[in-house]
């Protein structure tokens, strides 16, 4: 099987500025744990404050880019994955390029005049909160996607993953790729990504969903999605089933919904049935940082999906990757996976 460029991701490349902070810092900037939000005016000074007062690490991030990097690491096949998004022409952008190259991902960044996007990762007691200042990441244009050398990545890919965060940036790019995937019978996957996406970007999300063959998410996002759609249920299994049964453009395959629930079993809804898969439980003292756990799960899952492995193996690989990542700072991993 030809693996070069088999998996393509598009999203918001952000440089994670990650630090263990204290509750006082969270209170000062009105930040809730286990949340993901876009930076507002009140958050803009926090990036410098973090760098000045805490032990900060810089890690190439952004949800989709994390998942693609993890899939690449799990596959260990150079150039199996590609990625597009927008960065700035600055030192953070250079850092991002270096990081991606080292990870073995074939990146085609659009380079904008605004600064490279950053994401503050505030860690307290192993739990994290994300505050993204999109900046250059917010400037991606479908014109970049349409350039022959970039569209060639779309044509080469058999599997495509675009997390919901990209809905806030370039919905027209998502639609171009989603329509291509449906027309060519490729597998298009997406993610609920965050409660605010389900709430404030419902209309664009509803446009993209008919093209989705696999939808990922976590239990909080699933419950928000349910409430926004007036489903009047908090039951994650029921919600996963309902998402899997939403109208679909490409009817040659049924949609699969995959919902993670932290330490609780992963919910998979497919073809009118729900299956639960246990996760690898980690003793609290081994938990370093939950940042990137969901992204890593998706990356692990996709690494097996592109090899046409059964869903059970995909979930197992997702759980393995998430388990590795939460024992490290940021979305980082050892040199080689030991997934069996």
Would you call 295 a catalytic residue per the annotation? yes
CA distance 173 to 10: 9
CA distance 304 to 284: 28
Crossing angle of helices 63-75 and 311-325, in 10° steps, is: 110
What is 125-160 written as a DSSP string? TTEEEEEEE-GGGGG--HHHHHSHHHHHHHHH-SEE
Query: How many CB atoms are closer than 10 A to CB 172?
Result: 11
CA distance 295 to 13: 13
Which helix (DSSP H) or strand (DSSP E) does residue 187 occupy? strand 187-191
Which helix (DSSP H) or strand (DSSP E) does residue 112 occupy? strand 106-112
Burial class, 121, CB count within 10 angstroms (exposed 0-12 / middle 13-18 / buried 19+): buried
Distance (Å) of CA 50 to CA 19, 38, 74, 244, 278: 7, 17, 32, 41, 36
Pairing state of beta strands 36-38 and 7-10?
unpaired
Catalytic pick from 172, 264, 295, 338?
A: 295
Catalytic residue ranges = 295
């Amino acid at each position: 099987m030809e693996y070069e460029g088999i998996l393509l991701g598009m999203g918001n490349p952000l440089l994670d500025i990650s630090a263990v902070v204290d509750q006082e810092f969270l209170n000062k900037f009105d930040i809730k744990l286990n949340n993901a939000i876009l930076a507002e005016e009140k958050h803009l000074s926090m990036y410098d404050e973090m760098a000045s007062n805490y032990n900060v690490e810089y890690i190439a991030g952004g949800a989709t880019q994390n998942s693609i990097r993890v899939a690449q690491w799990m596959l260990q096949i150079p150039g199996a994955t590609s990625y597009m998004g927008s960065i700035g022409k600055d030192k953070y952008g250079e850092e991002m390029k270096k990081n991606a190259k080292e990870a073995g991902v074939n990146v085609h960044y659009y380079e904008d005049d605004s600064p490279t996007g950053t994401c503050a990762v505030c860690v307290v007691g192993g739990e994290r909160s994300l505050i993204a200042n999109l900046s250059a990441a917010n400037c991606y244009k479908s014109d970049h996607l349409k350039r022959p050398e970039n569209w060639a990545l779309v044509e080469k890919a058999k599997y495509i993953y675009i997390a919901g965060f990209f809905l806030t940036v370039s919905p027209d790019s998502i639609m171009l790729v989603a329509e291509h995937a449906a027309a060519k019978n490729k597998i298009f996957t997406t993610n609920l990504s965050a409660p605010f996406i389900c709430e404030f970007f419902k209309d664009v999300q509803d446009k993209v969903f008919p093209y989705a063959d696999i939808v990922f998410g976590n239990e909080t996002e699933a419950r928000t999605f349910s409430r926004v759609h007036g489903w009047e249920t908090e039951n994650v299994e029921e919600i996963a089933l309902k998402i899997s049964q939403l109208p679909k453009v490409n009817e040659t395959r049924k949609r699969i919904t995959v919902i993670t629930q932290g330490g609780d079993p992963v919910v998979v809804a497919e073809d009118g049935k729900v299956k639960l898969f246990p996760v690898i439980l980690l003793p609290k003292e081994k938990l370093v940082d939950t940042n990137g756990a969901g992204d890593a799960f998706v990356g692990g899952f996709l690494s097996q999906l592109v090899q046409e492995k059964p869903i059970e193996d995909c979930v197992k690989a997702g759980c393995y990757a998430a388990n590795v990542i939460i024992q490290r700072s940021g979305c980082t991993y050892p040199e080689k996976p030991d997934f069996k």
